[in-house]
Chain A
Amino acid sequence: MADSVADKVIAIIAEQAMLEPDEVSLESTLESLSVDSLGLVETVFAIEETFNVQVPFNANDPESKAFDVSSVESIVNAVEALIADAK
């Protein structure tokens, strides 16, 4: 059984935050993990490459609900929705 979407997203974010995956929880925010705007852009790229999806994220509109980046959990949910849409 491959890693879950949540595990993979956490691994991607942990790498950006330079932390171990077990130091990143679903409740974490990118801010609390010190992932800045460039780290977020790299995170989005890694998600697109990992899951073969197109993430609707524009750095000029980070509050947008099109891809909710308010917490790790919201990102996992958004990625799961993109995967479902792609099927």
Chain B
Amino acid sequence: MGRRVVITGMGAVSSLGMSARATMDGMAAGRSGISALEFQDVERLQIRIGGQIKSYDETAHFSRQELTFYDRFTQFAVLAAREAVAQSGAALAGAQSGVVLGTSGGGLQTQDENFRKVYEEGKNRVHPFVVPRLMNNAAASHLSMLHGVTGPSYTVSTACASSNHAMGQAFHMIRSGMADCMLTGGAESMLCFGGIKAWEGLRVMSKTGCRPFSANRDGMVQGEGAAVFVFEALDVAQARGAEILAEVAGFAMTSDASDIVMPNQDGAMRAMLGALNDAGLTPEDIGYINAHGTGTLGNDKTESAAIREVFGAHAKAMPVSSTKSMHGHLIGGTGAVELLACIMALREGIIAPTINHDQPDPACGLNVVPNVAQKAKPRATLSNAFAFGGLNAVLALKSAL
């Protein structure tokens, strides 16, 4: 079976707050981080809301030299990792540690800014470090440099499942003995003109708000931010007396092999069943699911049907919520931020709600923790991510020992 894997540190930045604690507090309070988007040319968009991180001053966190190399998604990853590493106290420096991060857009803001300069403003020159700033692995590389991590480091990009795939890889690497300790999670910052312009063309975005599982839902709302965790081999964490936040118990990934954008119930079911099986858990062991719950017509109906099928009678009362209703859909970073809801459920017995739940949808029919957090004592949780392209990744966590 290999080594057991635990989480010993967590960090986050999101529109709910600039730390893991602040983000979880926002979730527990059912607070909305969605607001009017603010960036150049926003008035030329149809979609003008998002989970944007406001009143954030990059110069308060980073030097001018650092900012030359840090796109906004890298900045978020660095801040989240700093918090996670400080909490964990793990000995990261060295070849027994690695970094696996998820992102979908990478340095999209850097691309957007520089395309504007050369195409719209007609400039013939861009900053010499555009490439190292925009590359998808920039955040992973900076984490490796900042923390002296010299083992395997890379970036996983599977759209909305990127960070779940990344964390699953990190889990596998420790379980198999390839690494003792991994920095893992995801980061995303696509809230710029080009980023939203591309998304609005798909006609799946809401102009009004993210209302997962509600009968009046009308689409997804994007967010931005990052979450980074320290995953560590149980034996290593115990030997140094580290506080264990949760155990990473299982992981599974499947492919729908059906449609490039429409979800598929079978692929989702196989991923959830695979994660249960990998963790040695039964459906009845699961006390909370952090749903993918995008707020689109298709996802929420299909995901609900998949959950009802996998969990049977247990699905009637089991809490299932989508925290995207509060922080928006962070695309390649979303699974990482959402894992915080699972950790909060396991450690604190607080189940984050699905806010904006105006009217139940009979096609969903789950306890979606409408609008207000619920108290429960789950011993194990699942976190779902189902990406465009039909790539699914589900993580199972258990409470700390």
Contact = CB atoms under 8 A, between A and B. Distances in A.
Interface of A: 37-38, 41, 44-45, 54, 57-62
Shortest 4 CB-CB distances between A and B: which pairs?
A: A59-B203, A60-B297, A60-B219, A60-B218
Contacts of A37: 262
A38 B261 CA distance: 9
B203 A57 contact: yes
Contacts of A59: 202-204, 219, 296-297
Contacts of B204: 58-60
Nearest to B300: A60
A2 to B, nearest CB: 27
Contacts of B296: 59-60
Contacts of B218: 58, 60-61
B202 A41 contact: yes
B217 interface: yes
A60 B262 contact: no
Q: How many residues of B sit at the interface, in one of the four size bands? A: 10 to 19
Given A37-B262, A38-B261, A54-B46, A60 B206 contact: yes
A38 B260 CA distance: 10
Nearest to B220: A60
Nearest to A62: B297
| Of B203, B207, B219, B262, most A-chain CB atoms within 10 Å | B203
A46 to B, nearest CB: 12
A44 B46 contact: no
A38 B388 CA distance: 13
Given A44-B203, A45-B201, 17 more contacts: A37-B262, A38-B261, A41-B201, A41-B202, A54-B46, A58-B203, A58-B204, A58-B219, A59-B203, A59-B296, A59-B297, A60-B204, A60-B206, A60-B218, A60-B296, A60-B297, A61-B218
| Of A41, A45, A59, most B-chain CB atoms within 10 Å | A59
Contact of A41 (B203, B207, B298): B203
Given A37-B262, A38-B261, A54-B46, A60 B217 contact: yes
B281 to A, nearest CB: 33
12 contacts: A38-B260, A38-B261, A44-B203, A54-B46, A57-B203, A58-B206, A58-B207, A59-B203, A60-B296, A60-B298, A61-B297, A62-B297
Contacts of A60: 203-204, 206, 217-219, 296-298
| Of A57, A58, A62, most B-chain CB atoms within 10 Å | A58
A61 B296 CA distance: 9
Nearest to B201: A45
Nearest to B296: A60
Contacts of A41: 201-203
Contacts of A54: 46
A57 B204 CA distance: 9
Nearest to B262: A37
Contacts of B297: 59-62
B25 to A, nearest CB: 30
A38 B258 CA distance: 14
Contacts of B203: 41, 44, 57-60
Interface in B32-65: 46
